[in-house]
């Protein structure tokens, strides 16, 4: 089954962009997923191709019109797989995370709406039951790179896209922890050695070391994740809880 992405944007030429390279690009060529863009401007109704207007109530910038966005959405929905959610990328949305990437990967596709200017008229979001996702607490100039970020995170979770499913199992966020540090040859670099346990060949010890390091890095860098990990793993030793 091909995971079907549709993107509504004023800049269709930006796609596939980075998604045409490396893992996502190979998956696209292998038809593990498909990508279709629609130019929002094609849904304009006047001869100037206007898609935006001044904000009601005054103020800076322009707002994408509800009627234009609705036409673009309705056209995309006609072609979409049945359970494809409508997703508007916006700093006001729910923060995108690995759980959300998994949810989207478990569906058959999604329709992404990329905002520009001050954003989209609120009424269309309500009328078409659009979900809102943010890629972080900062403001981008458009939704395109946010949509690409979401798609990249989703595509690598699709079956057969990343070579070994084991690679995904131990990645950051998978167990509620950030990932342990990695090393590779040369054995000694600028006087620093690869930790001895990693060259010991003792797989049980290596797994224990990696889990300890994952706990350490999470505890020191992400207290929010660490507190959640503690709460969901009550069997942890006193040493871990410190």
Ligand X SMILES: C[S@@+](CC[C@H](N)C(=O)[O-])C[C@H]1O[C@@H](n2cnc3c(N)ncnc32)[C@H](O)[C@@H]1O
Binding site for ligand X (CB under 6 A): 89-92, 114-116, 118-119, 134-136, 138-143, 146
Closest distance of CB 154 from ligand X, Å: 15
- Measuring CA to CA, which residue among 6, 153, 124 is closest to residue 65? 124
Question: Nearer Cβ to ligand X, position 6 or 134?
Answer: 134
How many angstroms separate the CA atoms of 72 and 67, rounded? 9
Question: Nearer Cβ to ligand X, position 141 or 164?
Answer: 141
Closest distance of CB 18 from ligand X, Å: 16
Structure tokens at 75: 């056209």
How many angstroms separate the CA atoms of 212 and 97, rounded? 23
Closest distance of CB 231 from ligand X, Å: 28
How many angstroms separate the CA atoms of 87 and 7, rounded? 10
Closest distance of CB 53 from ligand X, Å: 15
Determine how β-strand 86-95 pairs with β-strand 3-9: unpaired
Closest distance of CB 80 from ligand X, Å: 19
How many angstroms separate the CA atoms of 164 and 183, rounded? 19
Give the relative orientation of helices 223-232 and 203-221 as an angle to the nearest 10 degrees.
Answer: 120
Question: Nearer Cβ to ligand X, position 68 or 114?
Answer: 114
Question: Nearer Cβ to ligand X, position 109 or 143?
Answer: 143
Question: Nearer Cβ to ligand X, position 36 or 132?
Answer: 132
Cβ(210)–Cβ(222) below 8 Å: no
How many angstroms separate the CA atoms of 7 and 76, rounded? 9
Question: Nearer Cβ to ligand X, position 25 or 91?
Answer: 91
Closest distance of CB 111 from ligand X, Å: 14
How many angstroms separate the CA atoms of 2 and 33, rounded? 5
Structure tokens at 90: 């916006």
């Amino acid at each position: 089954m091909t995971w079907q992405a549709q993107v509504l944007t004023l800049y269709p030429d930006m796609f596939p962009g980075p998604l045409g390279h490396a893992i996502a690009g190979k998956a696209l060529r292998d038809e593990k997923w498909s990508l279709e863009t629609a130019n929002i401007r094609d849904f304009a109704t006047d001869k100037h191709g206007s898609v935006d207007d001044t904000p009601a109530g005054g103020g800076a910038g322009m707002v994408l019109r509800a009627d234009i966005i609705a036409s673009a959405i309705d056209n995309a929905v006609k072609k979409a797989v049945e359970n494809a959610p409508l997703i508007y990328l916006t700093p006001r949305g729910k923060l995108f995370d690995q759980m959300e990437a998994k949810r989207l990967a478990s569906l058959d596709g999604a329709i992404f709406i990329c905002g520009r200017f001050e954003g989209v008229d609120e009424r269309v979001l309500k009328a078409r039951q659009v979900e809102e996702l943010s890629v972080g607490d900062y403001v981008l100039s458009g939704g395109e790179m946010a949509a690409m970020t979401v798609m990249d995170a989703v595509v690598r979770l699709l079956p057969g896209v990343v070579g070994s499913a084991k690679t995904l199992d131990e990645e950051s966020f998978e167990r509620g922890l950030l990932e342990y540090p990695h090393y590779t040859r040369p054995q000694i670099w600028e006087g620093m050695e690869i930790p001895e346990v990693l060259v010991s060949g003792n797989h049980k010890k290596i797994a224990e070391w990696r889990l300890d390091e994952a706990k350490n890095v999470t505890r020191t860098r992400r207290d929010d994740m660490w507190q959640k990990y503690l709460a969901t793993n009550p069997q942890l030793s006193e040493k871990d809880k410190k």
